[in-house]
Amino acid sequence: MDAEMLDILFQFLKAFVVGGGICLIAQIIINFTDLTAGKILVFFMLAGVALTAIGLYQPLVDFAGAGATVPISGFGYLLASGAMKGAEKGFFSAITGSLAAASAGVTAAVVFAFLMALIFKSRTKRN
């Protein structure tokens, strides 16, 4: 194996460990609390916003890449970093900056959800 291949494998390992660690924290919260899934998602998104605001999430993104940006806390990071970049241009840009930063991901989620709804038939979950 050459050095480039080892570097790619190491990047995958870092993303897996960090993303898995975030999921592990969520699973522990699910197992040991009575919080609903919606509340846990909001908690992680707000944690991403808060960690970005105090400057702790960016080093995690620089280290782990997709391992830190793919989980829901990465969405909070995306909103906060977009707002902070927009704030450099003014108040209105601070509000629209987070929307502009997240627009591609939200659009993709809506379009692919619509396509899947056309392809597959939904049904009620049986307990």
Percent of residues, the chain, with pLDDT higher than 90: 65
Compute φ and ψ for 58, nearest 5 degrees: -60, -45
Where residue 16 falls among pLDDT bands split at 50, 70, 90? very high
96 close to 84: Cβ distance less than 8 angstroms = no
Polymer length in residues for the chain: 127
- pLDDT tens digits, one per residue of 47-74: 999 999 999 999 999 999 999 998 889 9
Mean pLDDT of the 87-106 span: 87
* pTM for this predicted structure: 0.78
Tokens of 25: 């924290």
Each domain of the chain, given as residue ranges in start order, spans 3-119
